[in-house]
Amino acid sequence: MTNRRATIADVARVAGVSPSTASVVFSGKTPVSDPTRQRVLDAAASLGYTGPDPRAASLRRGRSGIVAVVVGSSLNFMFLDPVQRLLMDGLAEAVAPLGAGLLLLRRDAGIDSENAPTLTTASIDAAVLIGCDRSLRETLPDVQARGIPIVVVEGDAGDDVPRIALDNREAQRRAAEHLRDLGHTRVAIVTLWQDAAGTRGWIAPDADITIDVTRDRLRGARDVFPDAPAFASAHSSIDDGFAAGRVLFADPQSRPTAVIAQSDLLATGVIRAAEEAGLRVPQDVSVTGFDGIPVDGLAPYELTTLFQPATDKGRAAGAAVAAMLEGQVPASVLLTSTFRPGNTTAPPMAP
């Protein structure tokens, strides 16, 4: 008695039909007469055959039904960000109709293990990059040479890679203008990561920031407040915002009257730091966020923020992938954020 698993050929033999007919019974690509179908199904059942081997089907079809998502190194920090979570949901939803699932690939895999899977070694039909740094960009030509569609979200992967992006600069500028219109002049900025390492601290005025989101939002803020100091955090988290806020509010003399945070989580942390310093929000300090996501436990504040369609970003990435898989050349997508006033901004108090 052999242990070999039954194949569709075995099923066909037992059912007394050709392999192609048996195949069609499972794929449903072509009509099959009821009696024939039943014989094939019975044969399959008697052999314990439960359907085509996905690996063989994948080779034959030239499709694996897998879309890679290249994320930062730590899933823990990556998914700490609600925007990323919603993005993933939108993406999952958008690739499901393609019959595809999401394969998580870490950008710097290989530090863990020599043979960690990569964009070139995994059976993937397409790849979605969440952000894109230099080292990743260098591996892309190989992937593209294989004819694998690539889409990048919130990043720049070269001109031939379609982007799903946000109007980060314009949106952030709107928030800054709002503060300016309220009368603020002493404004500080709390930014997202300024580099892959997540170096915390004041950003040098002439710093060349390579993280697109961070840079673009920073530019938007400085379009209005050119000299506003900026403090970089490592992650988009309340704790990081809190730490940054403590620094900003350390000196009562020089403290800002308004803080532009590059994410809602950071803004929440800044608010906490303000409270700790005995400052009232918005009377003593105004705070703006970015993202427009519900922050767990932020009540009773309602953040003045920019709402971004995070789930739509994922959906757009999925749609772009779908289009490319059908041979089309999708254009980049620029999504827009909506300014949403809350109760965390107000005019500065008279000095």
Partner DNA sequence: TTGTACGCGTTATCAT
Partner DNA sequence: ATGATAACGCGTACAA
Q: Find out whether 179 and 187 touch, Cβ atoms under 8 Å.
A: yes
Residue 12 beta carbon to DNA: minimum distance, rounded to whole angstroms: 7
Residues 23-52 that bind DNA (CB under 7 A): 23-24, 26-27, 29-33, 35-37, 51-52
Does position 100 interact with its own copies (CB under 8 A)? The reply is yes
Name the amino acid, one letter, at 223.
Answer: D
Number of residues that bind its own copies (CB under 8 A): 65
Does the bond joining 35 to the residue before it have cis omega, within 30 degrees of 0? no
HSE on the CB side for 93, CA within 13 Å? Answer: 13
Does the bond joining 300 to the residue before it have cis omega, within 30 degrees of 0? yes
Per-residue interface string for the shown chain with its own copies, residues 106-135, x marking contact by CB under 8 A: x--x--xx-xxx--xxxxx-----------
Show the beta-strand stretches assigned E in the chain: 66-71, 101-106, 126-130, 150-153, 163-166, 187-191, 201-202, 230-232, 258-261, 286-288, 305-307, 333-335, 338-340
Number of residues that bind DNA (CB under 7 A): 32
Q: Find out whether 105 and 71 touch, Cβ atoms under 8 Å.
A: yes
Residues 206-245 that bind its own copies (CB under 8 A): 237-239, 242
For its own copies, which residue of 85, 137, 246, 340 counts as binding (CB under 8 A)?
85
Instruction: Pick one of DNA, its own copies, none as the site partner of residue 265 (Cβ within 5 to 8 A by kind).
Output: its own copies
Instruction: Pick one of DNA, its own copies, none as the site partner of residue 277 (Cβ within 5 to 8 A by kind).
Output: none
C-beta closer to DNA: residue 32 or 136: 32
C-beta closer to DNA: residue 32 or 182: 32
* 3-state secondary structure labels for all residues of 58-127: HHHHCCCCEEEEEECCCHHHHCCCHHHHHHHHHHHHHHHHHCCEEEEEECCCCCCCCCCCCCCCCCCCEE
Residue 180 beta carbon to its own copies: minimum distance, rounded to whole angstroms: 29
Residues 53-92 that bind DNA (CB under 7 A): 53, 56-57, 59-62
Instruction: Pick one of DNA, its own copies, none as the site partner of residue 134 (Cβ within 5 to 8 A by kind).
Output: none
> In a 10 Å sphere around its CB, with 0-12 CB exposed, 13-18 middle and 19+ buried, how is residue 236 labelled?
buried
Q: Find out whether 127 and 148 touch, Cβ atoms under 8 Å.
A: yes
Instruction: Pick one of its own copies, DNA, none as the site partner of residue 27 (Cβ within 5 to 8 A by kind).
Output: DNA
Residue 40 beta carbon to DNA: minimum distance, rounded to whole angstroms: 9
Binding site for DNA (CB under 7 A): 4-5, 7-9, 16-21, 23-24, 26-27, 29-33, 35-37, 51-53, 56-57, 59-62
